[in-house]
């Protein structure tokens, strides 16, 4: 890893989108108006042009499911 850090295009890390999405979804939910009966499931669908679509599902703020699917060309 030290060799990679010394390269001109500095490598900042390897990230796990489903795990990080948990904090991202929580932050987005906090910005939305409060509901009387908040949803138990939260679903985030993102598109990456290289790998396809990623679905991340949380239940009560806890990651329960994630799937990467190929996009249609």
List pLDDT tens digits, range 7-45. 676 556 666 777 777 777 777 777 777 666 666 788 888
Between 58 and 33, residue with greater pLDDT: 58
Contacts 24+ apart (CB under 8 A), 53-57: 54/17, 54/18, 56/17, 56/18, 56/21, 56/22, 56/25
Q: Do residues 25 and 44 make contact, with C-beta atoms less than 8 angstroms apart?
A: yes
Please compute the mean of the pLDDT values over residues 49-55 and round it to a whole number.
82
- What is the pTM (predicted TM-score) of this model? 0.59
- pLDDT at residue 54 in the model: 87
In whole angstroms, give the CA distance from residue 69 to residue 47.
10
Please compute the mean of the pLDDT values over residues 68-73 and round it to a whole number.
71
- pLDDT at residue 18 in the model: 73
């Amino acid at each position: 890893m030290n060799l990679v850090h010394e390269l001109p295009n500095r490598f900042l890390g390897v990230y796990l989108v489903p795990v990080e999405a948990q904090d991202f979804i929580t932050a987005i939910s906090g910005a939305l108006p409060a509901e009387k009966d908040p949803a138990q499931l939260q679903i985030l669908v993102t598109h990456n042009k290289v790998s396809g679509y990623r679905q991340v599902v949380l239940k009560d703020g806890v990651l329960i499911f994630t799937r990467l699917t190929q996009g249609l060309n």
